Amino acid sequence: MLTFLAAVTLAAAPAEEPVLTPPQAEALRCAVAFAIGAKLQEDKSPLAAGWPDLTTRGKEYFVRATAKLMDDTKASRETLTAMVMRQMRALIVPADTAAAIPGCLPLLDASGQ
């Protein structure tokens, strides 16, 4: 009976998030920054005026970077979504996104997107 309860408890526990390497963490942060930046560009925000077009390239970077993180870490879609949402909360203020974009642009250029 105790074995069964332990198995049910473990099955119901949320998946543990993987520990990301520094390059993986940066790729995730920049993917989210590009997604938010693309929205700022679509909304014609003055903060986004000097950035390269993120509406296509940034969105594609987001898709490829998150897919690679899922492959590399074996994280579930739900786990990766939680990680993305945490990054979004950290960058949701447009000024915070604007501060992150310049440091992320080399990743975008290196990705070939």
Write out pLDDT tens, residues 34-63: 999 999 999 999 999 999 999 999 999 999
Amino acid at 41: Q
Q: Is 74 left (phi over 0), alpha (psi -120 to 50) or beta?
A: left
Q: What is the pTM of this model?
A: 0.83
Q: Which residue reads 């077009």 in tokens?
A: 53
Residue 28 is predicted with a pLDDT of 97
The answer to whether the beta carbons of residues 37 and 101 sit under 8 Å apart is: yes
